[in-house]
Amino acid sequence: MNPALPQLPDHAPFSAEQRKTLEPILSTLDSTQALWLSGFLAGAQPATLPQSAQPVSKPSAAQRLEILFGSESGNAESLAEQTAQAARKSGFKAVVKGMEEANVEDLAKAENLLVLVSTWGEGDPPSPAEDYYERFMSDQAPKLTNTRFSVLALGDTSYEHFCKIGKDFDERLEKLGGTRVFPRQDCDVDFEPPFQDWLKGALGALRTTSGAASESGGAVAAETAVASTPALTVYDRKNPFPAPLLENINLNSPGSETLPASAKETRHLELSLEGSGLVYEPGDSLGIFPANCPEVVEDILSLTKFPRDTIVSVDEDEMPLEQALLSKLDITGLTQLFLRKYAARAKSEHLDALLEEKDKNNLKSYLYGREISDTLADFPVSDLAPQELVSLLRKMPPRLYSIASSLKAHPEEVHLTVAAVRYRANGKIRKGVASTYLADRVAKGETVPVFVHHNKNFRLPSDNDTPIIMVGPGTGIAPFRAFVEERREIGAKGKNWLFFGDQHMVTDFLYQTEWQAALKDGSLNRIDLAWSRDTDHKVYVQHKMRENAADLWKWLQDGAYFYVCGDASRMAKDVHAELLQIAQTEGKLSEDDAQQWLKGLQKEKRYQRDVY
């Protein structure tokens, strides 16, 4: 018998037959399994238990619960707020804090701790949480012998290091002496169902181990608390608004006599929000639920020979297979996770070897530029059933696009700047799912399922007199169009400086006439432009920063906010490195002091990034 699980006492409300069944099972449980089971039972729906078996708790002082989040785009922060609402209804005094505002040393005081953290890019922490993560993983972290914890990890299975930061926190908390009361939950882009499961289980486990009472003094089951949390909006991620398309314009001009047409296709889209009740601020994003390209659907139906009208189930909703493939499932994103699940049915030595090789370069090479239809063709499974295929696919994830408009300037509208993705790979023409859906497959007047994704980490200064510096090449220009429009509408006096870049000035100067008008009316004070293909020497936005280093440093010393939007893998890193260099050359700081100065800007919210 596990010493943590004593034999059931004589007065326990079980029959002799139930005791005979229960006691052998209990004796096999380790401490982690026992805690999980206790949390599960504590969070069980009360209505499923007989009235006589309803738990009766004694009133006790509300237990404090620390909810710590690390968020880049706002998902972890939003889920942390939902967690706090449910926790308060479940009897806790819940305190929510972002990692950018928290001190690692304070963890030593946390008896109950829930951590919600995302993984960004190729296994990196969210930028606001970088400093906290570094200190937490170092010797500065305190011992946590009195801490009960559970971790929710957010990630994307299309990346190699899925949920790495959440896994790091989970392992480190245990190593520091904490007690994991509920297993870590790893969430893909469709995070809502696993989040709800984790929330019920984690709160139930903490209630059991801490003795928390509800606000009214009695026990409130975690599941009831979660279910009773009110929806904040009518239209949201779970219930997107059908927004009519008002306008669709190609921003890239056709070229001149001396230049070929632009290699790029960037669309300015205007959608109506009339009647939705949706509101947004500059810096927020719009979530889009796209439909797949019908040609890709036809490829899969042809390869599998499945009848298109076969009824399948997606999240308990029954529908024809063609409809599921068209609008409900991700049928293009080829990931390691899909390959591993598919390999179990394919029985292919080649595929098995590809997945098991220690050198992952061959696997990366296979994944690059391929889609799910390619794997179905490369490793056919003759007896695969339609519902089996559906079970292997993840749900269609929404795409987030930085909003390119101010609601004050365009009431009941929202504008986007979207680059249509088209390329050839492995002998096939590939299309970006959402970008070509918006560019090609939605006609004016037709509707697009949308929701607003609020991003508190990308906001204009509250003081309208504060100067701002904006760096946004390519479609990274989108939020800065919103920023300038907003500041014009509210009469902000702070100066605005824009760095923009693309390939060719003649064809790729996005919103050129608007920026020229903004310079004329004073809503834009400076603009510096970088064209990477107009000269033999490629010029990017960081080079323009270097050319204007003295002025840029002076603006920052005068309190300017610095914003970056666009590509995370290269541009944002180059801009970051240039900022550090300017701090050393213009500010005469050492390399270490420049690093600390930039971290200080981030902590003060004066250095903000919206990168992807």
pLDDT of 270: 98
- List the one residue out of 222, 247, 177, 266 whose CA is nearest residue 512: 266
> By the 8 A CB rule, do 165 and 107 touch?
no
Q: Has residue 355 got a pLDDT over 90? A: yes
- Considering the domain 294-392, what is its CATH architecture? Up-down Bundle (1.20)
Question: Which sequence spans correspond to the domains of the chain?
Answer: 63-227, 241-291+398-453, 294-392, 468-611
The sign of the CA dihedral 329, 330, 336, 339 is positive
Measured between alpha carbons, how far is 405 from 243 in angstroms, rounded to an integer? 15
> By the 8 A CB rule, do 188 and 100 touch?
no
Q: What are phi and psi of 133, to 5 degrees?
A: -60, -45
Which class is 63-227 in CATH? alpha beta
- List the one residue out of 213, 195, 104, 96 whose CA is nearest residue 154: 195
The order of strands in the sheet holding 447-453 is 399-402, 285-288, 447-453, 241-250, 266-272, 413-419
Measured between alpha carbons, how far is 161 from 352 in angstroms, rounded to an integer? 20
> By the 8 A CB rule, do 39 and 205 touch?
yes
Q: DSSP string covering 193-208, please?
A: HHHHHHHHHHHHHHHH
Mean pLDDT of 348-356: 93
Locate 13 and state its tokens. 């409300």
Measured between alpha carbons, how far is 522 from 509 in angstroms, rounded to an integer? 20
User: pLDDT (tens digit, 9 = 90+) per residue, 193-215?
Assistant: 999 999 999 999 998 887 655 44
CA separation (Å) from 495 to 471, 498, 545, 578?
14, 10, 17, 22
Within 8 A by CB and 6+ apart from 287, the residues are: 237, 240, 398, 399, 400, 450, 451, 452, 453
Mean pLDDT of 91-105: 94
- List the one residue out of 224, 153, 243 whose CA is nearest residue 189: 153
Q: Has residue 8 got a pLDDT over 70? A: no
User: pLDDT higher for 11 or 296?
Assistant: 296
Q: Has residue 262 got a pLDDT over 70? A: no
- List the one residue out of 459, 371, 403 whose CA is nearest residue 287: 403
End-to-end Cα spacing for the chain: 52
Mean pLDDT of 475-486: 98
Average pLDDT, the chain: 88
Q: Has residue 226 got a pLDDT over 80? A: no
pLDDT of 48: 37
Cα angle for residues 13, 226, 202 (degrees, 5° grid)? 65
The mean-pLDDT minimum among 255-264, 303-312, 534-543 falls in 255-264
Provide the H-helix boundaries in 379-417.
386-392
Mean pLDDT of 360-388: 94
- Considering the domain 468-611, what is its CATH architecture? 3-Layer(aba) Sandwich (3.40)
Measured between alpha carbons, how far is 238 from 18 in angstroms, rounded to an integer? 42
The mean-pLDDT minimum among 356-365, 403-412, 525-534 falls in 356-365
User: pLDDT higher for 375 or 207?
Assistant: 375
The rounded percent of the chain whose pLDDT value lies above 70 is 85
User: pLDDT (tens digit, 9 = 90+) per residue, 112-171?
Assistant: 999 999 998 778 999 889 999 999 999 989 999 999 999 999 999 888 889 999 999 999
Strand duo 63-70 + 112-118: pairing:
parallel
Locate 278 and state its tokens. 């949706």
The CATH number given to 241-291+398-453 is 2.40.30.10
Measured between alpha carbons, how far is 271 from 248 in angstroms, rounded to an integer? 9
Mean pLDDT of 498-504: 96
Q: What is the DSSP letter of 365?
A: H
Within this chain, domains 241-291+398-453 and 294-392 share the same CATH topology: no
Locate 229 and state its tokens. 């949390």
Q: Has residue 222 got a pLDDT over 80? A: no
Kindly compute the dihedral angle of the four CA atoms of residues 423, 425, 428, 433, in this order, to the nearest 10 degrees: -50
Q: Has residue 33 got a pLDDT over 70? A: no
Neighbours of 159 (CB within 10 A): 16
Mean pLDDT of 531-544: 95
pLDDT of 360: 83
Q: Has residue 513 got a pLDDT over 90? A: yes
Residue linked to tokens 């963890």: 107
Q: What are phi and psi of 333, to 5 degrees?
A: -70, 100
pLDDT of 227: 52
User: pLDDT higher for 493 or 220?
Assistant: 493
Locate 530 and state its tokens. 């970088």
- List the one residue out of 202, 192, 163 whose CA is nearest residue 394: 192
Cα angle for residues 274, 280, 284 (degrees, 5° grid)? 135
The sign of the CA dihedral 364, 565, 513, 452 is positive
Locate 6 and state its tokens. 């004593």
On the 0-12 / 13-18 / 19+ scale of CB atoms within 10 A, 71 is buried
Residue linked to tokens 């004593």: 6
3-state DSSP of 504-556: CHHHHCCCHHHHHHHHHHCCCCEEEEEECCCCCCCCCHHHHHHHCHHHHHHHH
Measured between alpha carbons, how far is 433 from 294 in angstroms, rounded to an integer? 11
Residue linked to tokens 């012998």: 145
- List the one residue out of 252, 239, 262, 212 whose CA is nearest residue 58: 212
- List the one residue out of 454, 457, 453 whose CA is nearest residue 98: 457
User: pLDDT higher for 229 or 212?
Assistant: 212
Helix H or strand E segment including 84: helix 75-89
| Residue 322 confidence class, pLDDT cut points 50, 70, 90 | very high
> By the 8 A CB rule, do 555 and 467 touch?
yes
Residues in the chain, overall count: 612
pLDDT of 316: 86
User: pLDDT higher for 158 or 378?
Assistant: 378
- List the one residue out of 79, 93, 307, 91 whose CA is nearest residue 194: 79
The mean-pLDDT minimum among 119-133, 219-233, 454-468 falls in 219-233
Q: Has residue 559 got a pLDDT over 60? A: yes
Helix H or strand E segment including 411: none
The mean-pLDDT minimum among 39-43, 335-339, 385-389 falls in 39-43
Mean pLDDT of 458-472: 97
